[in-house]
Every structure is written in C-alpha cells, then in structure tokens.
Amino acid sequence: MNKNKYQRHEQYVKRKSFLKKFGRKLFILLSTEDRKIRKRKVIYKKAKKVASIIKEHIVIDLPEILSIEINYRKVFLEKIDLIRTYLPSKKYRCSIDHSKITRIDPEALLVLAAEIKRSVSKEHNRYLTYNKNYAPKDEQVIRMLNSIGYWKHFNIKMENTNDKKRKYLKIIHDTTANNMHVVELREFFEDKLNFLTDETTGMFDDAISEAIANSVEHAYIKEQELITIDKAWWLSGSYNIETKELFFGCYDQGIGVKDALGHLDNRLVKKWIENLKIMTQSDSNVIETLVTKELPKYKNTDRGHGFKHFIKFIEDYSHGSLNIYSKKGECKFVKQEESIITQKYDYDDSLHGTLIVWKIKISGEINENL
C-alpha cells in the first residue's frame, strides 16, 4: 500500500515538474509584448479572485408568504427593491434565500422571476448558480417552482417534478408582440379545460394581445434603457385542479399606466387627458378610467377598446376577477353573478411596472387524461 502511494506521488512530482518546465520554455519563446499580456492576465485573475473573496455578501431572505395581496404587498416589494439594488451590482456577492417560503401566489412569482431576470440580464453581465442552502424546503413550493419553469428561466438545470394540485404553463418572456404566445397560452387551457366558446375565445385572445401590445408599444421610454430589458414582458398561466380556478397574468417593467398616457403624442388623446384631468388623479383612478372608458386613439381601429378588452373577458363568467396593478395603484373588478364590483387601492410603495391578472372559476370538468 505504501509502495503504491510512493509511486503515485513520484508520478505526480514528475508530471508537475514537466509542466512547470514546459511552461517556462513556452514563456521564453513568447515575444516581449505577449509576455506582458500574459503577466497582466495572471495579475488580473489574482485580483479578481481576491475581490470575490472580500466582496460583502448580501443575503436577501424571501418571506414565508410571497404575495402581492394587501397584507403582504409591502414586504414583498421591499424584497424586490433589495433584489434591484444588490443583485445587478458587481460590488456585492448576492444570494436570494428561498428556504423560508411556504406559500407563493402565481402573480407574485411572475413578478419575482421577471425582476431577477432583469437583474442578471446581458446588460448587467451577471449569472446565477444554484445553492442548496438557500433552496426552498417546502415540498409544495419546490414542485411549484419546478413546474412553472422558475429555475429554467435562469438557465439552472433542475429535476422535473409536477405539482399534483395545480398545472402551470412555463413562464413566457419576450420583447415583441408575437401572437404565437397568445395561442400557446390558450392551447394550454384548451387541452385540459372546456371553458372557451367561439365568442370567449376571441375575447381571450383580444385581452392577452392587448396586454402584450401595451407593454411593447407604450410601457417603456428611452430613459429606461439602462435599467430594464427594453419592451420586455412576462406571461404565465395555471389552473387549480381542486378549486377549478384559472389564473393568467402579464407583467412589464415599464413606467406605469399613468405615465405612459403622459407620453402619448396623439392630439385627441392629449385633449381627452386634459378634459378628464387624468394626470392629477391617483393611479387606481386612472386604471378604472381606462377600463371603463374608451381612448379616442383606438376608436374605429383593429385594436378596439384598449383596456376594456381586459374586463370583457370576465363578464361572460359567473365568478371571476380582473386585477390591474400599476405603480402605486391597484384596481380590482370582481364578477359575482350578474354584477361587477370595483375595488380601488392606493399605496405608499410602488410596483416597478404594470401587472394584469385574470382569475376565473369554471364549472366544467378538468380532463387530466389528455
């Protein structure tokens, strides 16, 4: 045994000696300029290694309940602000701790995934790695993140595990108004659920198309180019097998509904904004106005009625809701039997963009055999 160890050590010494000698010979053969370049590279690598060690390590602890509902909104948005501050910065080593999460709402997950994606985009030249110390511990949360393609969205390979209670469409992300994604979302639901008629199919397509088109055409301005992925939007969908509730939502990181109106250069729209004193109203009031009234720009055009497309879709169902969050405002339209109840909220904190969420309760059977 000792003899084998000695032989292995002897081979190791010889190999190391050869590589060192070969390296010296190679260095001698290099030109003076090449030697300088090589020395600079060695110095840079050492400095980079030291810098990574001495960087302050920031750990962002995600809360137990990840939700944008009133009771959890403030904490959630505080975590989003921390991600925006530390994750893109090369001054820090940043980790996002998922271990405490016990519940995630689909809309909050969509925002979280989008914000992390923005922070590690090509503009910031940052990359994510998986650390099991900060991974979720709750089995339901693990299955949800895997099913919705959360890790895959950041090019992190994970085992495929399906959520038995809820089925998810993988997160869709694009920077163009491509109707292919609308069809992808519709077919995801149609494969399992019998809830769309010929009329509601058109409404469904119009609602999603309008949300995506607004993100691409109006949500972003030139001044945002360095801090966002220009014209980017994120789309997600899911349904709960037990409660028969559908969810689909669209999120962008633009300037918000109210400010987007202020940047429109159409003469008729500007006059409409002035007459209604839109720019002096709260974010929630602006959202309500856009949903319940028509913008002059869209009359007699293929795009139709703008934000009115969003609420048209839930009007055809007995129970459903439309939530629109934009900056400091939230406007919720709840369909109960034959009436729609409007609820408005304005907050001190701000969402970084606009989030549109539809939730619908269906009565038909879910075909899990397909």
Nearest to 163 by CA among 142, 137, 190: 142
Give the residue from 43, 39, 19 showing the smallest Cα distance to 31: 39
Residue 299: per-residue pLDDT: 46
pLDDT > 90: percent of the chain: 41
Residue 17, classed as helix, strand or coil, is helix
Q: How many CA atoms lie within 13 A of 202 on its CB side?
A: 5
Q: Which residues of 148-177 are buried (b: 16+ CB within 10 A; e: fewer)?
A: bbbbebeeeeeeeeebeebbbbebbbbeeb
48-52, 91-95, 147-151, 223-227: least confidently modelled range: 48-52
Amino acid at 347: Y
DSSP code for 365: P
Mean pLDDT computed over 205-234: 84
47: its two tokens: 């400095």
Q: Is the pLDDT of residue 92 over 50?
A: yes
pLDDT at position 353: 94
Report the chain's mean pLDDT, rounded to a whole number: 83
| 151 HSE (CA, 13 A, CB side) | 20
Q: Tell me the sheet residues that pair with 92.
A: 56
CA distance 80 to 235: 18
Residue spans of the domains in the chain: they are 55-152, 165-370
Is pLDDT of 65 > 90?
yes
Phi, psi dihedrals of residue 171, rounded to the nearest 5°: -55, 130
Confidence of residue 249 (pLDDT cuts 50, 70, 90): very high
Strands 103-104 and 65-66: parallel
Per-residue model confidence (pLDDT) at position 242: 84
| CA–CA separation, 293 and 286 (whole Å) | 10
What is the rounded radius of gyration, in angstroms, for the C-alpha atoms of the chain?
26
Is a pLDDT exceeding 70 seen at residue 188? yes
Task: Tell me how many helices (H) and strands (E) the chain has.
Answer: 11, 11
At position 313, the amino acid (one-letter code) is F
Check residue 269 and give its pLDDT: 81
The b/e string for 34-43 (b: 16+ C-beta within 10 A; e otherwise) is: eeeeeeeeee
Q: Which residue has the higher pLDDT, 72 or 24?
A: 72
Residues in contact with 307: Cβ distance below 8 Å, sequence separation at least 6, in sequence order? 210, 287, 290, 291, 324
Q: Of 95-99, 167-171, 266-270, which gets the smallest average pLDDT? A: 266-270
| pLDDT 10s digits, 312-354 | 888 878 789 999 999 999 999 999 878 899 999 999 999 999 9
Is the Cβ–Cβ distance between 80 and 111 less than 8 Å?
A: yes
- The phi, psi pair for 12, rounded to 5°, reads -65, -45
pLDDT at 54: 64
- Compute the residue count for the chain: 370
pLDDT given at position 181: 93
Domain spanning 165-370: which superfamily?
A: Histidine kinase-like ATPase, C-terminal domain (3.30.565.10)
Q: Which of 25-29, 90-94, 260-264, 271-275 is predicted with the least confidence, judged by mean pLDDT? A: 25-29
**How many C-beta neighbours within 10 Å does residue 102 have?**
13
Task: Please report the pLDDT score of residue 208 as a whole number.
Answer: 93
Class of domain 55-152: alpha beta
Residue closest to 227 by CA, chosen among 118, 122, 110, 327: 118
Distances (CA, A) of 215 to 60, 122, 232: 29, 20, 7
Sign of torsion over alpha carbons 341, 346, 349, 351: positive
> What pTM did the predictor assign?
0.81
**What is the average per-residue pLDDT within 116-136?**
81
Tell me the two tokens of residue 80. 């989003």
pLDDT of residue 202: 87
Q: Contact, 129 vs 150, CB < 8 A?
A: no
Strand partners, 249: 236, 357
Do 55-152 and 165-370 come out as alike in CATH topology? no
Mean pLDDT on 179-184:
91
Question: What confidence score (pLDDT) does residue 327 get?
Answer: 96
User: What is the per-residue pLDDT for 322?
Assistant: 95
